[in-house]
């Protein structure tokens, strides 16, 4: 039986553990909150709860394969520093976080010096990955990808589709970074289009019906449109939803990469700027604009 150590059982990691277990993989699972690990092991026959990194590594047969599904940045860096001394030459470490590709490249070189394999995997699929499968973009050497392939095939929609050896270490996270930049642009275009239709009061448009219509044979049909059609069926006003959209890092990295490479990405970059504006980061600039209009034209200004 295939076996894997999986550290990080959040929304993505927990469902990945479930999909692997249901696909016949023995999953030695670890989470910072042990109660989460115990609950998952109670639900899934092939999931085994581990209390700490030492227990997880000890439970795996050499050569080991450990997959990290932790938040990118400090949490992942700390986990790699803690687990590397516990592993042995020939073991393989996989980082499935939405990490920065240059960090993956540095980690790969460091772990290579310790005799450890390293693969960075961009994972897309959200909370629907458990039932639909995940889209997986893997960066690493040929031998490491050959070892990882059976696990990717279980996680993917089918053994033949939904996973790719993108290139060397770093390419998995780079590809996922660009994927998320495109996602920003697609989401922004849909959101603006529906906002424009909702504002056209004279037509009294049923935007839920339009969303459903566009799902069928339209050029703009997509999973994002499917999701939009679903929530618009029950709520077309969204009055209880705060108009604040977070950005988790990938959009920023994509914009910076486009500057470094001199490749224009106006749609993705403007979508990122729109998210900043929703977070109130444009408020001071707007206050400045209001005061300038007051100064040159005596235009009225609002007060908080």
Cα distance between residue 49 and residue 275, in whole Å: 39
pLDDT score, position 208 = 97
Domains and CATH numbers, the chain: 3-168 (3.40.50.720), 242-304 (1.10.1040.10)
Could you write out the DSSP letters of every residue in 235-285? -SS-TTS-S-----SHHHHHHHHHHHHT---HHHHHHHHHHHHHTTTTHHH
How far is it, in rounded angstroms, from Cα 111 to Cα 93? 9
Residues with catalytic function: 176, 183
Tell me what pLDDT residue 304 has.
75
Residue 159 has a pLDDT of 98
Cα-based angle 38, 41, 44 (whole degrees, multiple of 5): 155
Distance of alpha carbon 293 from the chain centroid: 42
Rounded to 10 degrees, what is the CA torsion of 40, 14, 60, 51? Answer: -60
Q: What is the spatial distance between Cα 280 and Cα 136, in angstroms, rounded to a whole number?
A: 34
**pLDDT value, residue 225:** 97
- Asked if 157 contacts 138 with a C-beta cutoff of 8 angstroms, the reply is no
Please, what's the b/e burial string for 60-73 (b: 16 or more CB within 10 A of its CB; e: otherwise)?
beeebbbbbbbebe
**CB neighbours (10 Å) of residue 202?**
5
Radius of gyration, alpha carbons of the chain: 23
CA–CA gap between residue 201 and residue 171 (Å, rounded) = 47
Distance of CA 51 to the CA centre of its chain: 26
For residue 64, the 8-state DSSP code is P
Query: How high is the pLDDT of residue 302?
Result: 87
Cα three-residue angle 239-241-246, rounded to 5 degrees? 150
Paired residues of 68 in beta bridges: 7, 95
pLDDT in tens, the chain (304 residues): 899 999 999 999 999 999 999 999 999 999 999 999 999 999 999 999 999 999 999 999 999 999 999 999 999 999 999 999 999 999 999 999 999 999 999 999 999 999 999 999 999 998 899 999 999 999 999 999 999 999 999 999 999 999 999 999 999 999 999 999 999 999 999 999 999 999 999 999 999 999 999 999 999 999 999 999 999 999 999 999 999 999 988 999 999 999 999 999 999 999 999 999 999 999 999 999 999 999 998 889 888 7
């Amino acid at each position: 039986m295939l076996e894997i150590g999986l550290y990080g059982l959040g929304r993505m990691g927990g469902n990945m553990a479930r999909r692997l277990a249901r696909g016949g993989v023995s999953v030695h699972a670890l989470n910072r909150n042990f109660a989460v690990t115990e609950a998952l092991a109670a639900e899934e026959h092939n999931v085994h709860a581990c209390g700490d990194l030492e227990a997880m590594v000890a439970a795996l047969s050499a050569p080991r394969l450990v997959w990290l599904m932790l938040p990118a940045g400090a949490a992942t860096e700390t986990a790699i520093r803690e687990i590397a001394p516990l592993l042995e030459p020939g073991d393989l470490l996989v980082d499935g976080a939405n990490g920065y590709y240059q960090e993956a490249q540095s980690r790969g070189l460091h772990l290579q010096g310790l005799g450890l394999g390293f693969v960075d995997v961009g994972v897309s699929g959200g909370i629907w990955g458990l039932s639909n499968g995940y889209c997986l973009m893997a960066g690493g050497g040929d031998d490491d990808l050959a070892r990882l392939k059976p696990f990717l095939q279980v996680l993917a929609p089918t053994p033949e589709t939904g996973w790719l050896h993108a290139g060397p270490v770093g390419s998995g996270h780079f590809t996922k970074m660009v994927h998320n930049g495109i996602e920003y642009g697609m989401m922004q275009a849909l959101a603006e289009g529906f906002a424009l239709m909702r504002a056209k009061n004279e037509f009294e448009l049923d935007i839920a019906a339009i969303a459903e219509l566009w799902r069928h044979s339209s050029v703009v049909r997509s999973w994002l449109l499917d999701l939009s059609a679903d929530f618009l069926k029950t709520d077309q006003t969204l009055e209880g939803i705060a108009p604040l959209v977070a950005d988790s890092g990938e959009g920023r990295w994509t914009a910076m990469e486009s500057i470094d490479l001199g490749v224009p990405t106006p749609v993705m970059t403007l979508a990122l700027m729109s998210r900043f504006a929703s977070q109130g980061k444009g408020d001071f600039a707007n206050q400045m604009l209001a005061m300038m209009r007051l100064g040159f034209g005596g235009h009225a200004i609002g007060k908080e």
